[in-house]
């Protein structure tokens, strides 16, 4: 199992992206929450509220999920990262695998 993370600027975008990936069985679960971000962009310091999204899927679907996220992302340069958990409850990992195609 892997977790693909990204950030967007609106809850509606997060919900739509998660729903699309759920409807197409590319993820088993998607979560999102509001975060506060500070970063430099084009030479300027930016402090902004963002929505961080975590997408739970099997490793074999990584490229497909990343491609969908990248195609539908509103940012010029999106943060897209992939995390591999050190441990996942085996029953949860099986559920993720069984829920995705």
Rounded to the nearest 10 degrees, what angle do helices 62-72 and 11-23 cross at? 140
The domain that holds 25 is classified in CATH as 3.30.70.120
Number of domains in the chain: 1
Using only C-alpha atoms, the chain has a radius of gyration, in whole angstroms, of 14
pLDDT, tens only, 62-87: 999 999 999 999 999 999 999 999 99
Please give the residue range of the domain that contains residue 46. Answer: 2-99
Predicted pLDDT of residue 98: 97
Average pLDDT across the chain, whole number? 97
Distance CA 85, CA 56 (A): 11
pLDDT, tens only, 11-30: 999 999 999 999 999 999 99
| Per-residue burial over 10-21, b = 16 or more CB atoms within 10 Å of its CB, e = otherwise | eeebbeebbeeb
Predicted pLDDT of residue 84: 97
Q: For residue 13, what are the contacts with CB-CB under 8 A and spacing of at least 6?
A: 51, 74
């Amino acid at each position: 199992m892997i977790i693909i993370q990204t950030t967007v600027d609106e809850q509606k975008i997060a919900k739509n992206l998660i729903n699309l990936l759920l409807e197409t069985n590319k993820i088993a679960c998607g979560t999102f929450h509001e975060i506060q971000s500070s970063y430099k962009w084009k030479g300027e310091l930016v402090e902004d509220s963002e929505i961080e999204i975590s997408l739970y899927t099997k490793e074999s679907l990584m490229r497909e999920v990343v491609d969908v996220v990248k195609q539908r992302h509103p940012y010029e340069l999106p943060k897209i990262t992939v995390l591999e958990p050190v441990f996942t409850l085996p029953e949860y990992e099986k559920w993720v695998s069984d829920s995705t195609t």
